[in-house]
Structure 1
Amino acid sequence: MASSKAKVGVNSETNLLKESKSSSSAGEPSPNNRTYSLDDLETLATVGTGTFGRVFLVKDKQSRAFFALKQMKIPDVIRLKQEQHVHNEKEVLTEVNHPFLIRLFWTHHDERFLYMLMDFVPGGELFSFLRSRGRFSNATGLFYSAEIVCAIEYLHSKEIVYRDLKPENILLDSEGHIRLTDFGFAKKLSDRTWTLCGTPEYLAPEVIQSKGHGRAVDWWALGILIFEMLAGYPPFFDDNPFGIYQKILAGKLVFPRHLDFYVKDLIKKFLVIDRARRLGNMKNGADDVKKHRWFKTVDWEGVPVRKLKPPIVPKVSHEGDTSNFDVYPEDEWKKDPPVPQKDLDVFKSF
């Protein structure tokens, strides 16, 4: 979870929250058809921490299935003005159902915490694999990009903008397929929104300039991600966010020599400052992306049904294996006083 990238808009709220893959096997009732209680869940380990929450690996005592339980301190959510983001996250996750997205099974609150019960995805973050390898091969980058294109296309078909694409928010399941996680910035969008949020290196120019932004920001972020996967570093970086923003707005791209000709063309078409001309945001949407020459070998029908062969298969010994996540001290995290009723009212529908 150690990441060099800080978030904007949440005091790096949730590099934190790495949620993940439930293990309901064939024949078991779907985890969606249950009402859970905290007493049903045995806490096993922390798999992520952040400014106002942490994610625990938990085991359902009834089904013996493993889940990730995201637990957020209500006073900190309020202090950091994250109430709307928390509600957005629940609203978006309640509405989506896709093989490359995390699933939400249950939400709850008491007088101290908000809780979200989600998939536990045991392979860990793509970020960890990218850092240990330095950079990915063209073929490896192509695999992850194809699965991400399908995830973004699905979200946009539901008028949802994700707004937080980066290697830290892409988990790998036990077979090596992706799951996007951390929907704290995701939002159902009929037109545009003006909130400055995201990770500095991944912000689109229209977000930095507060011009109002929409789903085009996800295609910009995909361009940044592909560059980072294949180069080992993002195209615009600096010691401070202001320096990063200046470079993004200047738009000067310097590619490493080893990059494939077609992928350079694709990245340039994503990193277009004029969003009306940005690939993915024009009339044909994601179809324009899928037709790009870099993707010519991809069987697009096979991608969402997980037919492509993953280039990295994480070492996972059992469904509750946490070895692909950092180790966190199990400190006295729960000793906070209860929250006054007026503050709890904000979350009564949670």
Structure 2
Amino acid sequence: MSDPQKVPKVECSLSDIVFGVSLGEGAFGNVRVGWLKTNKSQKYAVKTMKKAEIIKSKHVDHIENEKNILEKIQHPFVLDYYGFLQDERYIYFLTELLRGGDLFTYHRSVGHFSAKQTQFYGAQIVCIFEYLHGKDIIYRDLKPENIMIGDDGFLKLIDFGFAKVVRKRTYTICGTPEYIAPEILLNQGHSKPVDWWTLGILVYEMLAGFPPFQDEDPMNIYRKIINTKPRYPEGFDSKCKSLVKHLLRRDLSKRFGNLKNGVDDIKNHRFFEHFSWSNLLLKKLDTPYLPKLEAVSEKESSFTKDKSSQAEKVEKGDDPFINW
């Protein structure tokens, strides 16, 4: 568990930020490199989202939820959040710049991870969920695409759009098909145990190279999640298999993470035998992979200057973000 001192908010206005090259596209805009005019050496990632598109797709609550959660959390393995800005067209999340790529891309490039590598990455997700659940936050959208590799080789969880503060149960159906827990599909109400289910899916996928429930048709994936047990490829580590079986229990009264010992059942499982949880949080463990980092381009963008290519303007009277 970790609850270090909150990263200080970056006090600035939109006019203080220089926008650089695009790092990638998002659902409502893109992510760009950014820096303050007063400090070019400190680079940030600026998540830029179009207000009009968020409103039209009825995702205002999701974005507000993400902002509120990012403002209250701080963990070594979670994206650092520095602040929120807006104008009449866009909202902006100012976060740390991560240059190591995502776990999905790296995992696909090597095919599958070793048991030791799976242990290293899986343990970081355990720590994140332990921390979030201690604040009554469920994440609900674990998948390799939402896990970045930091410059130092340790993980950083991103994208809190589906995260939610839940003290009892919630009934919203959300998540990626291969990772959705059965209780969500059955609309039984769900809470923290769904995250432990997704951990089981991730651990399986990291070691096997593919998720345990897959099909081109999402409906067939859902049927498999509800009705079938995972098949384990030949050579699948026996300790890892045992952990996955305990995490992928449909019966919540038997699912690891949801029993009377809580997260300790996972941490003390033989898959993590001799693993130093304290050194992990202090980042004193050797990383199995260190990303090759390229220099960040300092080429400035015309993003805020070229009004003809910008998003639709939202008038004050129609702007739900105005008092954020």
Query: What TM-score does the superposition give when structure 2 sets the normalisation length?
Result: 0.92
Instruction: Return the match for 2:87 from 93, 107, 110.
Output: 110
Aligned CA distance change for structure 1 residues 71 and 338 (closer, same or farther; 3 Å): same
- Structure 1 residue 282 displacement after superposition: 1.4
1:251 correspondence with 2:228:
yes
1:343 correspondence with 2:318:
yes
Q: Give, in whole Å, the separation in 1 of the partners of 2:103 and 2:308.
A: 28
Q: Aligned runs of 1:160-309 on 2, under 5 Å?
A: 160-309=137-286
- Structure 1 residue 321 displacement after superposition: 6.7
Q: Give, in whole Å, the separation in 1 of the partners of 2:309 and 2:27.
A: 14
Q: Give, in whole Å, the separation in 2 of the partners of 1:180 and 1:343.
A: 33
Greater mean alpha carbon deviation, residues 113-122 or residues 37-46: 37-46
Gaps of 5+ in 2: 1-5
**Kept in 1: contact 2:201–2:211 (CA 8 A):** yes
- Structure 1 residue 33 displacement after superposition: 4.5
**Kept in 1: contact 2:52–2:313 (CA 8 A):** no
Aligned CA distance change for structure 1 residues 71 and 304 (closer, same or farther; 3 Å): same
Greater mean alpha carbon deviation, residues 39-48 or residues 224-233: 39-48
- Structure 1 residue 164 displacement after superposition: 1.1
> Which residue number corresponds to residue 50 of structure 1?
26
SS, match of residue 302 in structure 1: helix
> Which residue number corresponds to residue 107 of structure 2?
130
- Structure 1 residue 311 displacement after superposition: 0.3
**Kept in 2: contact 1:150–1:303 (CA 8 A):** no
- Structure 1 residue 84 displacement after superposition: 1.0
Greater mean alpha carbon deviation, residues 303-312 or residues 32-41: 32-41
Q: Give, in whole Å, the separation in 1 of the partners of 2:284 and 2:308.
A: 42
**Kept in 2: contact 1:251–1:273 (CA 8 A):** no
SS, match of residue 301 in structure 1: helix
**Kept in 1: contact 2:48–2:90 (CA 8 A):** yes
> Which residue number corresponds to residue 47 of structure 2?
70
2:323 alignment partner AA: S
- Structure 1 residue 61 displacement after superposition: 2.2
Corresponding residue pairs, total? 312
Q: Give, in whole Å, the separation in 1 of the partners of 2:318 and 2:233.
A: 51
1:150 alignment partner AA: C
Aligned CA distance change for structure 1 residues 200 and 343 (closer, same or farther; 3 Å): farther
Q: Give, in whole Å, the separation in 1 of the partners of 2:201 and 2:308.
A: 36
Aligned CA distance change for structure 1 residues 321 and 313 (closer, same or farther; 3 Å): farther
Greater mean alpha carbon deviation, residues 293-302 or residues 57-66: 57-66
CA-atom RMSD, angstroms? 1.9
**Kept in 1: contact 2:316–2:322 (CA 8 A):** no
Q: Give, in whole Å, the separation in 2 of the partners of 1:56 and 1:347.
A: 21
- Structure 1 residue 50 displacement after superposition: 2.7
1:98 alignment partner AA: H
Instruction: Return the match for 1:97 from 74, 81, 89.
Output: 74
Q: Give, in whole Å, the separation in 2 of the partners of 1:34 and 1:264.
A: 44
Aligned CA distance change for structure 1 residues 213 and 138 (closer, same or farther; 3 Å): same
Q: Give, in whole Å, the separation in 1 of the partners of 2:308 and 2:105.
A: 26
- Structure 1 residue 215 displacement after superposition: 0.9
**Kept in 2: contact 1:236–1:247 (CA 8 A):** yes
1:56 alignment partner AA: R
1:144 correspondence with 2:118:
no
Query: What TM-score does the superposition give when structure 1 sets the normalisation length?
Result: 0.85
- Structure 1 residue 209 displacement after superposition: 1.3
1:186 alignment partner AA: A
SS, match of residue 347 in structure 1: coil
